[in-house]
Amino acid sequence: MASSLGYLQMFNLKTLLVLALSTTCISSTTFDPVSNTPTEKSIVDLTYARYLGSTVPTSHTAGENVTFFGGIPYAQPPLGSRRFAAPQPLHGRVQKDGVPPLVDAREWAEPCVQQPAKLGVGVEDCLKLNVWKPTKAKEGDNLPVVVYIHGGGFYAGGPRGFPLHTWVTQSLSQNGRGLIGITIAYRLNLLGFLGSHSILQGTQGGALNRGLLDQRMALKWVKDNIHKFGGNGKDVTIVGESAGGASVVMQLVAYGGKRPTNFQRVIAHSIGYQQMPNMTMVQQRFEVAASAMSCAVGGFSSDTEIMKCLESAPLDSLIAGINSIPNNHLAPHLEPDSMLNDGLKTESFLPALPSTLLRTGRFARNVQFIGGHATHDGRNFAGGRPEHFQNESDVRRLVFGGRWPWVTNATINKGLALYPPSGPGSPFADEWERAWTVGGNVVFTCMDLFAAQQVTKYNKKNSVDPAYLFRWNSPNPVLYQAEPWRGVMHTSDLFFLFNGSSAPDAGATFTALNQTEQYLADEATAYWTSLVSSGDPNRAKTGSSSSPVWRTAFGTREGVVGRRLILTQAHADGEGGTPRTLSRMEDVDRVEDERCAFWMSEDVTRESAV
């Protein structure tokens, strides 16, 4: 094996340019902070480049017996003529003479450009991922792999707030082998989801739903390369929350299930997205953004010329274009058959609504599904605060007027009939409780049940591991202190699964967990990593005998539609007492099933466009 000096002799600008990798080469003064020399355990050789990871424990990167690799490119930089194109694979060359260059991968890469966009936050060259591995893991170990896809409404966010070193250490304690953890960045807002027929005339072809294609390219990279880190590219679980939860579902239904997937398991948290815009709306938003970028549609003789203008627009124009469109309005959209008929595309990533593709069995088969939501997800999406809901007209106006404007009055009438007005005999204490329950059921708190039902229905018995459902029932204490009326609000689960994380502006803050919070964090992480490792959440759950068996979603008890695990913060008997779990199983009753079946029905989803 070459010496440290031999490594250094390979570092030169010419070598890096051949790779076209925008990562930092190691200098003689930037080795491991402890020994100032690279070690074999902290270097992974991908044949076209060698990456130096960090073994120094911090709150956000490495951990005990875990090595972190940050900012590894999985596609060519989406710059210039590739700005609106599908992600292009790396063309790393195997080094024939000498040792491939050593690249510093001990820190996070910059996040993708955010919305609202501003100078200094995010970069276009962001198609990169982060890897955590057991320090001793090596090629041939075939460890299971988990890939986390961040949320943020498809317009903001990044991987930094979702470190996976505790998942790796938890798995190591469970089975002595561990797992490989990965987080990915993907193009957001205008860069990821600006659409129109014009986009397809880009210099390098152009593509719709580029952010989703980025995710798929990252998964392809994982399949092809993760064995070098000790992982098994054929044993991959994808996990996401909110827009990340929507992403993993959209990856499940991509291409109507016609193409093979690079994952075997899906864990979807609080599946969330707004109505999926039709091509008329997509085109309108394209014209607004193009005009803001000084590339107005009427000022050019062809789509090709418009695209050349958009591809070459400077950063200040790009920022203006992003900020010309409201948040959430540049997100995944349908790719209708008319585009195929025009000869511009060969196959649509989203040929129909995700709910339609699930309902009709057009999704990847033999993929296990696990899904759930936070108890009060709907409070984030009801359209107002408790005091804003005094009567039913408030529910109609606020819940549906902003987020679901296509839902007709006739459908609203039928829907609200399933939620009796507050008062004697009603399950709702007031109109606020009624409103947030409806606001959650339209997609966030019902699609997990619906997806589990459809995946179970269409997969042959015993051809895939069974579905599991959960409800997260403990709030993020930081967010709860600021706004207690939100209760167990959207994203509460992330605080516990990612080291007390809150992740504003694609960054991250981490809050220390108290004893009972840590107990729930350990308990939940054990279930999740056991799922990743085996498809069975109980095989390696927390050693405490009080932690319940997480039963499969669909049993045979009469009158019970389904069942799920409720994850609740532990209780300690007295100060300093030993925590004991409050998590338990609960039944999904027929009332909830009836409501969810209504919102997921063909006629209603045609209006809600989910």
15 assigned to some structural domain: no
Give 63's strand partners: 66
Do residues 235 and 330 both lie within one domain?
yes
The domain total for the chain is 2
pLDDT at 260 over 60: yes
pLDDT at 574 over 70: no
Do residues 354 and 384 both lie within one domain?
no
pLDDT > 90 in the chain, percent = 73
CATH number of 460's domain: 3.40.50.1820
Do residues 360 and 500 both lie within one domain?
no
User: pLDDT tens for residues 434-475?
Assistant: 999 999 999 999 999 999 999 999 997 777 889 999 999 999
Last residue in a domain, options 336, 364, 392? 364
DSSP-based three-state secondary structure for 265: strand
Do residues 261 and 389 both lie within one domain?
no
26 assigned to some structural domain: no
How open is the CA angle 542-370-233, to the nearest 5 degrees?
A: 85
211 assigned to some structural domain: yes
Question: For 32-36, 75-79, 590-594, which range has the lowest pLDDT when averaged over its residues?
Answer: 32-36
Do residues 527 and 462 both lie within one domain?
yes
pLDDT at 277 over 50: yes
Do the beta carbons of residue 242 and residue 371 sit within 8 Å?
A: no
38 assigned to some structural domain: no
343 assigned to some structural domain: yes
Do residues 442 and 472 both lie within one domain?
yes
Do residues 342 and 386 both lie within one domain?
no
pLDDT, mean over the chain = 88
Banded pLDDT at 10 (limits 50, 70, 90)? very low
pLDDT at 91 over 50: yes
User: pLDDT tens for residues 61-90?
Assistant: 666 799 999 999 999 999 999 999 999 999
Closest CA to 329 of 377, 276, 379, 405: 276
| pLDDT for the residue 28 | 29
pTM here? 0.92
Q: Which residues make Cβ contacts (< 8 Å) with residue 120, sequence separation at least 6?
A: none
Do residues 521 and 398 both lie within one domain?
yes
pLDDT at 327 over 50: yes
Do residues 359 and 381 both lie within one domain?
no
Last residue in a domain, options 364, 381, 414? 364
Distance CA 303, CA 319 (A): 22
E strand or H helix at 409: helix 409-416
| pLDDT for the residue 59 | 56
pLDDT at 368 over 50: yes
Torsion, Cα of 451, 453, 457, 461 (10° steps): 100
Give 192's strand partners: none
385 assigned to some structural domain: yes
Last residue in a domain, options 344, 364, 384? 364
209 assigned to some structural domain: yes
Banded pLDDT at 4 (limits 50, 70, 90)? very low
What is the radius of gyration, based on Cα positions, of the chain? 24
526 C-beta neighbours (distance < 10 Å), count: 24
Give 509's strand partners: 502
Do residues 84 and 232 both lie within one domain?
yes
Do residues 108 and 189 both lie within one domain?
yes
Mean pLDDT on 517-527: 94
545 C-beta neighbours (distance < 10 Å), count: 6
| pLDDT for the residue 33 | 44
Do residues 359 and 420 both lie within one domain?
no
6 assigned to some structural domain: no
Q: Residue 232's domain spans which residues?
A: 65-89+103-364
